[in-house]
Amino acid sequence: MELTQHAQGEIEIDSTEPALDDVLLTVDDLHVTFGGEKGVRAVRGVSYRVRRGETLGIVGESGSGKSVTSLAVMGLLPTSARIHGSVKFRGKELLGAKDKAMSAIRGKRIAMIFQDPMTSLDPVYKIGAQIAETLRTHNPGMSRSDVRKRCIELLDIVGIPNAVDRVDDFPHQFSGGMRQRVVIAIAMANDPDVIIADEPTTALDVTVQATVLEAIKAAQRETGAALVLITHDLGVIAGMADRVLVMYAGRAVEVGTVDDVFYRPRMPYTVGLLNSLPRMDVDEKTRLTPIVGSPPSLQSLPPGCPFGPRCPLHIAACDAAEPPLVEVDGHALHLAACIRSDELKGQDRYEAGQVFETTSEDAGLPTDYAGPPEADAEPAAAHEAQTGTEFAPPDRYHAPDAEPTAPPAQHFPPQDGDAP
């Protein structure tokens, strides 16, 4: 049933009352649709729970519904979006609440780190003023000096050097990684119970990513918050998350602990994601294993399993109905949406990844391609070994069969003071 606004729209949450089993955020059968009856079904039945101090990683290709799910939780979707299901914070329903009631929750009890700090920060306001805004909004009794002290403290926690002076700088005076750390400081300003980080390391280089992730860990340690981490980077998930939710075509297709999903995947899509990454324990000439094809249109999904057209284990039965999430390996916390998940039982991700081998050969390369030549090989030897033809180095200075010519003389008009 589609949820509408509550009669009063108010949300009463007793912060002193412990949540049941420390579950802070519960998302149950969440659906989000844009457009009319035949619109885009961006999210289709997503469910998860996050406990205090826990990190849930959500991964999937672009367009799988990760960000839309988080925006629905925060109440930031446009009014044209049709939302079904339930989102509860400490047992209190959030869907259908009025914006005024949600504004008291956002930034105070549930905070969000957006993926683009350039659009999250106002370029005409100083960094300190933007952090102070969220402090004053939820703590109107704070004095000006206390607010400034807290701003400097937050910048110091997230690793901004010389925070006492940098608090008065503008966003354009910060690097991309430093701006992202400022956004993290804003999110943790009021010690929220839940932090949602939507691809916080996108477009950052590896060293900056490390500092940003360390800032997020510091924010979680400082607040004791539950963390929902949305990212494309499986390496980030491996190092940060306790549990993993893999999304495809708007729904969860595998859920489990990091060890379950990374070492015992039971959904072919998860296997493909893991095996499309470079491996450090094999010869450098080993090919990657990409997943062929593209994700389906959420406006016209294929019959049955939406991953079917790209799946190497696809059979006719896969098109009969979309498989539900079911327990695998007798583990209540490990769920997969695949009717052939038992065939992957007992295999690690590399063994299971062999199912993709027959459908993922690199276009344009012969099947016996041996990889690039050794770094120390002579150009002629490497060329002849791969092509069987004699190596002829190109002449970079003049065209073949042409005599080199001197550059044309340049004549400049005499200047005052030039010698005759």
Return all residues near 224 (Cβ < 8 A) that are at least 6 apart. 52, 53
| Domain range summary for the chain, segments of one domain joined by + | 20-241, 251-359
Report the DSSP beta bridge partners of residue 255: 245, 335
Q: Give dist(CA 356, CA 290) in Å, integer.
A: 8
Exposure string for 128-137, b = 16+ CB within 10 A, e = fewer: bebbbbbbee
Residue-by-residue pLDDT tens, the chain, 420 positions? 344 344 445 565 555 444 446 899 999 999 999 987 778 999 999 999 999 999 999 999 888 999 999 999 999 999 899 999 999 999 999 998 998 899 999 999 999 998 888 888 999 999 999 999 999 999 999 999 999 999 999 999 888 999 999 999 999 999 988 998 999 999 999 999 999 999 888 767 788 888 888 888 888 988 889 999 999 888 889 989 999 999 999 999 999 999 999 989 999 999 989 888 877 777 666 667 778 888 999 988 999 999 999 998 999 999 999 999 999 988 888 999 999 998 888 777 767 667 776 544 444 444 454 554 454 445 555 555 555 665 555 444 344 455 555 555 555 555 555 555
Alpha helices for 264-410 (secondary structure H): 268-275, 349-352, 379-387
Residue 266 · residue 329 · CB < 8 Å: yes
The pLDDT, as a whole number, for residue 354 is: 74
| CATH 3.40.50.300 is right for the domain spanning 20-241 | yes
The pLDDT, as a whole number, for residue 117 is: 82
Q: Give dist(CA 239, CA 242) in Å, integer.
A: 9
Prediction pTM value: 0.79
The pLDDT, as a whole number, for residue 377 is: 46
Q: Give dist(CA 178, CA 286) in Å, integer.
A: 37
């190109």: which residue's tokens?
Answer: 394
Cβ atoms within 10 Å of 420's Cβ, excluding its own: 3
